[in-house]
């Protein structure tokens, strides 16, 4: 798909590049983002405010005990405070909110406080003073115990609710995936079993798809019956005309013989167009051998260079052989040098037929693949060309889930490529 040409569309597309591609991932993002935002809001508003306020209050109470022990050291054992002398290192982790709040309160209360260490001993606070003394007491005296329990509960609840949401969301997206698979299979010419399910909107889309598929199948069936019936009915009078012309002097009816041959080719083309994809089934075949058979059955004694590797692929052999024969026939009609090639790409199989003829101008290439579109302006049709050759090729490519690509060959003529997924 080409990039948006309008500046507003280009800006909108660029602004959405960060979004996930699938609906499942986008729905998951919609579920996860609010949970993360709520967790952060609770952590900032509750943990920071609540635990800091609790720490300030408990530290204020502990501050009186510290002052009492400094004045009367004999009371230290009764208050679970250990005294000592020597240097003390100041170390409070950056993310320790309660430790930072405690240090601010103690520094404001004691001018000679030089160090606050909450890391040296686990669950212990050590204070160092300017006179070379230090004291140590349990961390629980100045901050709430087990503050991580709320965090664990929050994270655990969030993970549980996210898992439940994912399971529920998978059940809601499954009907959409089933509808997408059915539509993709129908685009490849396969009618798979499908029944609408899921939410109301998905059921409505599924019902609309089934109605559309039924209408298209009826249209294809009517087209096939019409072309087959007309073509078969025309064969009987055409055969009588050929018998009558065969009993006449060939020099007198030479023009009529050419017209009858052109009519026969037109009828054969109609039959090919009506039979396209009706009875063919996918079979694993050798792509190079299939291309060689199509070339040999069409080129007869004219030289056509065939190249490529032996590639095993699941194809509709009758339809693909017919499509390749049409491409080779067109190339031989309009060019003198023709070559055919088969190659395998990334998850694709590519058949290429090239010639050195006049080619097709780029503005006319789309019209050339439409049914009953002829690029020549002649009113007569003595060659039996009804404009269905490339249309049949395009339909066969689409039945395989692929496409027909027309371009310019380095031989100077048309380069036709059938690209199908593998």
Closest by CA to 267, choosing from 243, 233, 291, is 233
Residue 362 has pLDDT above 70, yes or no: yes
- Tokens 């072309």 locate to 227
Closest by CA to 245, choosing from 233, 257, 235, is 257
- Tokens 């690209």 locate to 419
Mean pLDDT, residues 89-109: 84
Mean pLDDT, residues 1-22: 55
The token duo for 299 is 């080129």
Bigger pLDDT: 191 or 48? 191
- What does the alpha-carbon distance between residue 224 and residue 230 come to, in Å, rounded to a whole number? 10
Mean pLDDT, residues 298-323: 86
CATH architecture classification, 276-421? 2-Layer Sandwich (3.30)
Q: Using DSSP, how many helices (H) and how many strands (E) does the chain show?
A: 11, 11
pLDDT band at 365 (very low <50, low <70, confident <90, very high): confident
- What does the alpha-carbon distance between residue 341 and residue 300 come to, in Å, rounded to a whole number? 18
Q: What percent of the chain is predicted at pLDDT more than 70?
A: 79
Bigger pLDDT: 361 or 385? 361
Position 382 scores a pLDDT of 42
Position 189 scores a pLDDT of 66
Q: What percent of the chain is predicted at pLDDT more than 90?
A: 8
Bigger pLDDT: 31 or 334? 334
pLDDT band at 340 (very low <50, low <70, confident <90, very high): very high
The boundaries of every CATH 1.10.287 domain in the chain are: 195-272
- What does the alpha-carbon distance between residue 345 and residue 249 come to, in Å, rounded to a whole number? 56
pLDDT band at 415 (very low <50, low <70, confident <90, very high): very high
Position 2 scores a pLDDT of 42
The token duo for 194 is 């499908």
Position 379 scores a pLDDT of 33
Closest by CA to 389, choosing from 402, 375, 378, 377, is 375
The boundaries of every CATH 3.30.565.10 domain in the chain are: 276-421
- What does the alpha-carbon distance between residue 30 and residue 23 come to, in Å, rounded to a whole number? 10
Mean pLDDT, residues 367-371: 74
Position 3 scores a pLDDT of 45
Average pLDDT along the chain: 79
Bigger pLDDT: 270 or 120? 120
Is 384:238 a contact under the CB 8 Å cutoff?
Answer: no
The class (CATH top level) of 195-272 is mainly alpha
Report residue 348: phi and psi, to 5°. Answer: -140, 155
Contacts by 174-182 with C-beta closer than 8 Å and gap 24+?
Answer: 174/198, 175/199, 175/202, 175/203, 175/206, 176/23, 176/202, 179/205, 179/206, 179/209, 182/209
The token duo for 12 is 């909108």
Position 378 scores a pLDDT of 37
- 375-400: per-residue pLDDT in tens? 554 333 444 454 567 878 888 888 88
pTM of the model: 0.49
- 76-96: per-residue pLDDT in tens? 888 888 888 888 888 888 877
Position 252 scores a pLDDT of 65
Bigger pLDDT: 2 or 268? 268
- 187-209: per-residue pLDDT in tens? 766 778 888 888 888 889 889 98
Bigger pLDDT: 111 or 387? 111
pLDDT band at 97 (very low <50, low <70, confident <90, very high): confident
Position 251 scores a pLDDT of 67
What 8-state DSSP symbol labels residue 50? Answer: I
Bigger pLDDT: 152 or 403? 403
- What does the alpha-carbon distance between residue 68 and residue 265 come to, in Å, rounded to a whole number? 115
Position 33 scores a pLDDT of 80
Mean pLDDT, residues 396-421: 88
Mean pLDDT, residues 157-162: 80
DSSP-assigned letters across all residues of 165-214: HHHHHHHHHHHHHHHHHHHHHHHTT--------SSHHHHHHHHHHHHHHH
- 204-241: per-residue pLDDT in tens? 988 998 999 888 888 877 777 776 676 666 777 777 77
Position 1 scores a pLDDT of 41
Position 79 scores a pLDDT of 87
Position 188 scores a pLDDT of 67
Bigger pLDDT: 274 or 63? 63
């Amino acid at each position: 798909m080409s990039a948006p040409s309008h500046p507003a569309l280009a800006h909108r597309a660029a602004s959405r590049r960060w979004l996930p591609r699938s609906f499942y991932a986008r729905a998951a993002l919609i579920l996860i983002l609010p949970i993360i935002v709520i967790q952060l809001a609770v952590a900032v508003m509750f943990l920071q405010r609540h635990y800091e306020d609790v720490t300030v209050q408990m530290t204020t109470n502990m501050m009186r005990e510290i002052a009492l022990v400094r004045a009367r050291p004999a009371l230290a054992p009764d208050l679970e405070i250990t005294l000592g002398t020597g240097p003390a290192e100041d170390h409070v982790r950056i993310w320790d909110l309660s430790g930072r709040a405690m240090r601010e309160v103690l520094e404001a209360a004691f001018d000679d406080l030089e160090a606050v260490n909450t890391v040296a001993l686990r669950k212990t606070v050590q204070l160092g003073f300017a006179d070379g003394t230090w004291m140590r007491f349990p961390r629980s005296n100045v901050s709430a115990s087990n503050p991580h329990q709320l965090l664990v509960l929050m994270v655990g609840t969030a993970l549980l609710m996210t898992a439940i949401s994912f399971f529920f969301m998978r059940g809601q997206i499954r009907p959409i995936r089933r509808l997408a698979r059915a539509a993709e299979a129908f685009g490849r010419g396969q009618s798979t079993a499908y029944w609408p399910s899921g939410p109301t909107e998905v059921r409505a889309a599924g019902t609309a798809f089934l109605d559309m598929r039924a209408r298209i199948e009826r249209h294809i069936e009517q087209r096939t019956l019409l072309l087959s019936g007309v073509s078969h009915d025309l064969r009987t009078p055409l055969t009588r005309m050929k018998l009558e012309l065969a009993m006449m002097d060939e020099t007198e009816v030479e023009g009529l013989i050419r017209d009858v041959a052109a009519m026969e080719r037109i009828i054969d083309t109609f039959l090919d167009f009506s039979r396209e994809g009706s009875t063919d089934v996918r079979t694993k075949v050798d792509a190079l051998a299939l291309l060689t058979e199509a070339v040999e059955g069409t080129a007869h004694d004219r030289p056509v260079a065939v190249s490529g590797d032996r590639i095993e692929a699941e194809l509709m052999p009758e339809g693909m052989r017919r499509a390749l024969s049409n491409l080779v026939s067109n190339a031989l009609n309009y060019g003198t040098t023709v070559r055919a090639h088969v190659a395998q790409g990334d998850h694709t199989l590519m058949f290429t037929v090239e010639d050195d003829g006049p080619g097709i101008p780029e503005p006319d290439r789309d019209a050339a693949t439409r049914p009953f579109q002829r690029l020549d302006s002649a009113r007569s049709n003595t060659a039996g060309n009804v404009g269905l050759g490339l249309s049949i090729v395009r339909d066969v490519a689409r039945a395989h889930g692929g496409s027909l690509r027309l371009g310019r060959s380095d031989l100077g003529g048309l380069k036709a490529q059938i690209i199908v997924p593998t």
